[in-house]
């Protein structure tokens, strides 16, 4: 069974209780000896490791790891603080924004995000795309193809996170918040409309993307009612 490791909690000397998601469920299991670097299962001791595992029942409240084969490691030799911060934030989002029994719905997006981060080395766009998928799957989809208030497709003049989408000229009111400029609105539309992580190949303006990153962060915090802890490395 293919899994992505979400958390590792030390248990006794070299054992750990591991929480992970597969394509079908969120699971918790006991992994004996994984804190020992020499253990054949030690790759599971890193968050966002993708591995093929086999579990067995034993005399413990959770299933026990029988064996594992690492498929992909999020670690790499030249990790800078943005890369590390992105790994931590991706893990934190899946663990905290969704109830434990629903975390597994993020499996295909998280798998792609971990691979994209490592292979393309663009933490900012990788996170923006993952956050967009999280916003949608969490039920807080942003409207970027028509006016969120009247459904009209033309004359879009603003974007409002409070209203959750584009606002047209007729619906726009001067006391409404105008959160983004035109190029930021176009970039946001590309991100929200991207069904996967393919946008990573496209050139974009880093300053605009950083504005969107800050807005996404606030929007997710407000919508999901959660405050991020691992954001400092990424915004300084
Ligand atoms: Zn309108």
Name the residue range of residue 29's domain: 2-72
Query: Domain check: are 204 and 89 in the same one?
Result: yes
Flag whether 8 is in a domain.
yes
Task: Examine the fold and report which residue of 54, 72, 90 is the final residue of a domain before the chain moves on.
Answer: 72
Query: Domain check: are 19 and 93 in the same one?
Result: no
- Identify the residue whose tokens are 């969704």: 98
Predicted local confidence at residue 182, as pLDDT? 94
Query: Domain check: are 130 and 49 in the same one?
Result: no
Non-local (6+) Cβ contacts of 37 within 8 A are none
Predicted local confidence at residue 49, as pLDDT? 97
Task: Examine the fold and report which residue of 42, 72, 102 is the final residue of a domain before the chain moves on.
Answer: 72
**CB 98, CB 105: distance < 8 Å:** yes
Distance 25 CA to ligand 1 centre (A): 41
Flag whether 127 is in a domain.
yes
Task: Examine the fold and report which residue of 45, 72, 99 is the final residue of a domain before the chain moves on.
Answer: 72
Predicted local confidence at residue 54, as pLDDT? 97
Distance 210 CA to ligand 1 centre (A): 27
- Largest separation between any pair of C-alpha atoms in the chain: 66
Distance 181 CA to ligand 1 centre (A): 18
Query: Domain check: are 90 and 61 in the same one?
Result: no
Distance 148 CA to ligand 1 centre (A): 7
Q: What is the pTM of this model?
A: 0.95
Query: Domain check: are 130 and 21 in the same one?
Result: no
Predicted local confidence at residue 233, as pLDDT? 84
Predicted local confidence at residue 225, as pLDDT? 97
Q: How many domains does the chain have?
A: 2
**pLDDT mean values, one per 10 residues, the chain (236 residues):** 97 94 97 92 95 94 96 90 95 97 97 96 97 97 96 95 94 87 96 97 96 96 95 84
Distance 8 CA to ligand 1 centre (A): 48
Distance 149 CA to ligand 1 centre (A): 5
- Identify the residue whose tokens are 């691979």: 115
Query: Domain check: are 131 and 182 in the same one?
Result: yes
Distance 153 CA to ligand 1 centre (A): 8
């Amino acid at each position: 069974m293919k899994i992505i490791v979400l958390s590792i909690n030390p248990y006794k000397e070299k054992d750990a209780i591991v929480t992970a998601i597969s394509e079908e469920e969120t699971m918790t299991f006991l992994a004996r000896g994984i804190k020992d670097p020499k253990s054949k299962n030690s790759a599971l001791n890193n968050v966002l490791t993708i591995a093929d595992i086999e579990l067995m029942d034993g005399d413990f409240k959770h299933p026990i790891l029988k064996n594992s084969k690492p498929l992909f490691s999020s670690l790499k030799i030249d990790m800078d603080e943005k890369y590390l911060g992105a790994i931590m934030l991706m893990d934190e989002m899946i663990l905290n924004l969704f109830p434990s029994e629903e975390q597994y719905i993020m499996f295909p997006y998280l798998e792609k995000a971990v691979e994209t981060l490592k292979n393309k080395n663009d933490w900012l766009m990788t996170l923006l795309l993952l956050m967009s998928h999280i916003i949608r799957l969490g039920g807080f989809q942003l409207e970027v193809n028509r006016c969120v208030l009247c459904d009209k497709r033309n004359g879009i003049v603003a974007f409002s996170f409070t209203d959750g989408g584009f606002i047209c000229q007729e619906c726009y009111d001067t006391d409404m918040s105008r959160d983004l400029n035109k190029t930021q609105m176009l970039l946001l539309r590309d991100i929200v409309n991207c069904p996967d992580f393919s946008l990573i190949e496209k050139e974009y303006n880093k300053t605009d993307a950083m504005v969107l990153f800050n807005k996404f962060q606030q929007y997710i915090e407000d919508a999901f009612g959660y405050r991020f802890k691992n954001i400092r490395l990424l915004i300084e």
